[in-house]
Amino acid sequence: MLEPIVKTITVPCSQDKAFDIFVDMASWWPLEKRSMSLMRAGGPAKKLTVEAREGGRIVETALDDEEWHWGTFLKFEPHAFLQMTFHMGLPEDKTGHVDVTFTPISASETQVELNHHNWEGYEDMAEMMYQGYGGSWDLLFVEHFNAACAG
């Protein structure tokens, strides 16, 4: 069994703002570096659509308008917690889970913890996904999300 990948950062914004920025993934996710379109359509995605609600989907749209379903929000507790499936283009039945918790430190600082787990959900791709996201969350969450909160 693979251990969860846990990343904890303190961002320079309120709890509400940190949550709102996180769920507006299109504003901070680097599609030019991490997207299904790069691998399958030969260029960065045209857009990322996030339905910010329980049951809402995260969908990438390629330049040729092909869509890649990345995941679905299982739990959505504004501005405190969210849980989503995360399979980024894999079949929906091969998925891990990402939990994100937002804890206020002060009016202008929030601790945000990302926990990517349920690696066995990826079945035979679990080890590859684990290795890939081990470093990717540093780029995506620690670098890009954090910068969006600071900006």
pLDDT attached to residue 31: 85
pLDDT attached to residue 134: 81
Could you write out the three-class secondary structure of the chain?
Answer: CCCCEEEEEEECCCHHHHHHHHHCHHHCCCCCCCCHHHHHCCCCCCEEEECCCCCCEEEEECCCCCEEEEEEEEEEECCCEEEEEECCCCCCCCCEEEEEEEEEEECCEEEEEEEEECHHHHHHHHHHHHHHHHHHHHHHHHHHHHHHHHC
pLDDT attached to residue 71: 95
5-150 belongs to which homologous superfamily? START domain (3.30.530.20)
Distance (Å, rounded) from C-alpha 30 to C-alpha 14? 23
pLDDT digits (tens, 9 = 90+) for 78-119: 999 999 999 987 888 999 999 999 999 999 999 999 999 999
Distance (Å, rounded) from C-alpha 56 to C-alpha 85? 11
Question: CA separation (Å) from 81 to 85, 113, 127?
Answer: 14, 10, 27
> Domains of the chain: which residue ranges?
5-150
pLDDT digits (tens, 9 = 90+) for 31-79: 888 888 777 777 788 999 999 999 999 999 988 898 989 999 999 999 9
Confidence category of residue 132, pLDDT binned at 50, 70, 90: confident
pLDDT attached to residue 103: 98
